[in-house]
Structure 1
């Protein structure tokens, strides 16, 4: 067995996605990759995209392999985000067992390779953090999904990503149900995130939900450091107005005390 083929076997696993750019970087040029394909060591999915087959032929790459390939082989700054991140950290009961819509945190979806955007008809949901001044390693963690290690947003950032998607890709009520269970967020990390956020509406909704569910970490936040802007914001149509954060929210989230005012 050649040294390059031995390298391939030692650095990949059955069912894993293998990209030509990564192979070339490690001395396996296109012509050699074609020989490996002809010999059955690799199977071609699309131009420049292969996977390691296994004897039964049943193990094929899925969305976790695709996301891992972006970060580990192409070194792209993407991560498992929002609802998907919460789900795979055990903080959501909304895991879809079939055809899971996966939230991907990305600076710009246009920079993602075509093979990823069109991967096996996978429904990706792209989450941008454009209004966060910066992100650091402390905002991320590692989760294991189907045996693959993936970079994921920590619960605080994932919660922010969910709130930022309200009225775009997730209903306010659904986000509120998720938020209700986030009792153990770090007030220091939440404060850091909201201090870096210039998304006024997102900041207000995040604080509204924190206050509404009276999470213990909410009491340790300093709202004076957070950009809340001025004026009213209509978040949901035909909602009730919350005086504290100057936003319209679903009727179901207005407490009985406020309704009687």
Structure 2
């Protein structure tokens, strides 16, 4: 009877779960498979252990869309952001943003070229903007969300001088043809990074996608003091930004 029960459970698992997805303990437990039994299935070759408490079907490899969908259920606010959201076809590594400070699981980061960023870049209190600035990333990235261009621009500018090069950021910025002024204005006044806001205003004037002076008259966008904001970039060059571009 015990052997029949064991076979029945693994048969149900094989029948109901798609291939290439991470099978964590909570998923297995919903089908009546205990931690101990999952370990037994791995020992018998019915499952392959990829990390502590995470399995896949034997002979299967984890797909990026499935792995991202799994992580989106584990990490609050996880989405594709910054440069990756603007230049999806060129971005390597894939830039992920989230609402909490976490380390991506080793089994994930060892298989996929990704990096994760966490920063309280926006003050969302009393705002519905977070939902308006995320959209579906597309089938190639599973069920994860992706920043709209307006949000992605500020995420990218926040990383300039560190993990994001100034040259690539300017190229991506200049190629964004459409920005919704109401969304952009709300994001700018909620953005907590002086560097990101000043750099946006500077490049906004240079690239001309919107009227910067009109936006400044319509939204309260704090940019710090009236002095220039100066910092040395990772490549040794200096970035100097005036308050309003």
Q: Same fold (TM over 0.5)?
A: yes
Unmatched runs of 5 consecutive residues or more in structure 2: 1-6
- Taking the TM superposition and a 5 Å limit, the aligned residue runs for 1:1-150 are 2=8, 5-6=11-12, 9-10=15-16, 12-25=17-30, 27-38=32-43, 40-53=45-58, 57=59, 59-72=60-73, 74=74, 76-88=76-88, 94-95=90-91, 100-109=92-101, 111-112=102-103, 114-115=105-106, 119-120=109-110, 122-134=112-124, 136-146=130-140, 148-150=142-144
Structure 1: which 5+ runs fail to align? Answer: 247-261
Structure 2-normalised TM-score? 0.78
Cα 1:23–1:204 shift into 2, 3 Å: same
Q: Secondary structure of the equivalent of 1:245?
A: coil
Is residue 140–residue 151 contact of structure 1 (8 Å, CA) maintained in 2?
yes
Check whether the contact 1:82–1:127 (CA below 8 A) recurs between aligned residues.
Answer: no
Moved more, 196-205 or 220-229: 220-229
- Does the CA contact (< 8 Å) of 1:70 and 1:76 recur in 2? no
Please tell me whether the aligned partners of residues 79 and 105 of structure 1 are also in contact (alpha carbons under 8 angstroms): yes
In 2: Cα distance, 1:121 partner to 1:75 partner? 18
> 2:223 maps to what in 1?
228
Find the aligned partners of 1:171 and 1:27 in 2 and give their Cα distance.
Answer: 49
Shift of 1:181: 0.8
Q: Distance in 1 between matches of 2:87 and 2:139?
A: 11
- Alpha-carbon distance between aligned partners in 2 of 1:21 and 1:113, rounded to the nearest angstrom: 18
Aligned residues: 230
- What are the Cα deviations for residues 121-149 of structure 1, in whole angstroms up to 9, with x where unaligned? 54432222313112622221111253622
Contact 1:162/1:175 (8 A) holds in 2: yes
Does the 8 A contact of 1:184 with 1:217 survive in 2? no
Query: In the TM superposition, what are the counterparts of 1:194-209 in structure 2 within 5 Å?
Result: 194-209=188-203
Question: CA 1:82/1:26 → structure 2, altered by over 3 Å: closer, same or farther?
Answer: farther
Q: Report deviation, 1:162.
A: 0.5
Residue aligning to 2:180: 186
User: For the structure 1 residues 26 and 196, does the alpha-carbon distance in structure 2 shift closer, same or farther, using more than 3 Å as the test?
Assistant: farther
